[in-house]
């Protein structure tokens, strides 16, 4: 598709005189347009759910979540990957972003990098892409050569390909195994896809990664039980999670967290199952780290013997 044919590049009739408006009128228009983002995403929830189910299966088998993009889209993908480490203790080599132009492009525009399919192939080859991996290609337009190259190469390898764009008839949407394209309409500032399109991409990526984490045992009830207690705030959050999950007081939670080697999930299983740290870890490993599955087997037995 030609650039001028893309929804994300068309002009928004509601903001044609935005340069003449007051600050309050400007933010009212932006807010009204932003409200359309969640509604656009609602229409593609089946595709997002399919992406979660298939990505979780690959991830559980040892595959990686690899985000590919250029510019704003590449930064959003990289951000989503980075945040999985402190939130869910995901190793940086299991979820990471590849941005056209390399790490420098995170902080400064690298012109021309997004126009190369070959560069995407080279980047993925450097990371030794395999069939168990998941490649999430992100581009508002859906026509960026770098992300198209990433999808094409990933398809050859047999990896799962997911595209996140904002143009449903884009090439990326057609090439990927799962195409996710919330159509948010023209931007308030023509072509400024860091606005509604960027917001939509951020929301979709959050859904995918959060869904994968839920499916693979990093969430118990609605608590992020794989959080890393690496600073005072996260230590307190970890203790609160143990308290919420088990009902023990914070002092008891701290004792179990220490015995569990600072693993929140292990501490919860120890308390609820009335078992030691070694047994808790063994059971979690044998049950894909899903606390609910472990407690279904352990807690009832312990209640019977109480």
**Positions marked active-site:** 83, 114
| Cα(149)–Cα(175) distance, integer angstroms | 10
Strands 134-138 and 95-99: unpaired
| Cα(231)–Cα(81) distance, integer angstroms | 20
Side-chain half-sphere exposure of 109, counting CA atoms within 13 A: 3
Distances (CA, A) of 139 to 51, 121, 161: 17, 16, 14
Q: What is the sign of the dihedral through the CA atoms of 86, 87, 89 and 92?
A: negative
| Cα(25)–Cα(28) distance, integer angstroms | 5
Contacts of 28 (CB under 8 A, 6+ apart): none
Contact 275, 305 (CB under 8 A): no
């Amino acid at each position: 598709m030609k650039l001028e044919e893309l929804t994300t590049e068309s002009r928004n009739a509601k903001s044609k005189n935005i340069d003449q408006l007051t600050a309050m009128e400007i933010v009212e228009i932006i807010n009204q347009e932003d409200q359309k983002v969640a509604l656009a995403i609602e229409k593609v929830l089946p595709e997002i759910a399919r992406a979660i189910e298939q990505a979780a299966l690959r991830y559980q088998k040892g595959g990686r979540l690899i985000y590919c993009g250029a510019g704003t889209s590449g930064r959003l993908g990289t951000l989503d990957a980075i945040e999985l480490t402190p939130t869910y203790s995901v190793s940086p080599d299991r979820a990471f972003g590849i941005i056209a132009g390399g790490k420098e492009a995170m902080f400064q525009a690298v012109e021309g990098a997004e126009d190369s399919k070959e560069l995407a192939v080279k980047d993925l080859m450097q990371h030794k892409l395999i069939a168990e991996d998941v490649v999430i290609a992100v581009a508002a337009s859906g026509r960026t050569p770098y992300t198209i190259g990433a999808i094409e190469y990933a398809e050859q390898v047999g990896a799962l390909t997911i595209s996140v764009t904002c143009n449903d008839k884009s090439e990326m949407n057609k090439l990927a195994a799962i195409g996710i394209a919330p159509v948010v309409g023209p931007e308030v500032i023509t072509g400024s896809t860091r606005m509604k399109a960027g917001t939509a991409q951020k929301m979709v990526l959050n859904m995918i990664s959060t869904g994968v984490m839920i499916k693979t045992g990093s969430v118990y009830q609605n608590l992020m039980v794989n959080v890393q207690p690496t600073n005072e705030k996260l230590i307190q959050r970890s203790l609160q999670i143990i308290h919420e999950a088990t009902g023990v007081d914070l002092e008891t939670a701290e004792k179990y967290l220490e015995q569990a080697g600072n693993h929140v999930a292990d501490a919860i299983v120890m308390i609820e199952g009335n078992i030691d740290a070694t047994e808790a870890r063994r059971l979690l490993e044998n049950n894909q780290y899903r606390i609910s599955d472990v407690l279904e087997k352990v807690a009832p037995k312990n209640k019977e013997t109480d």
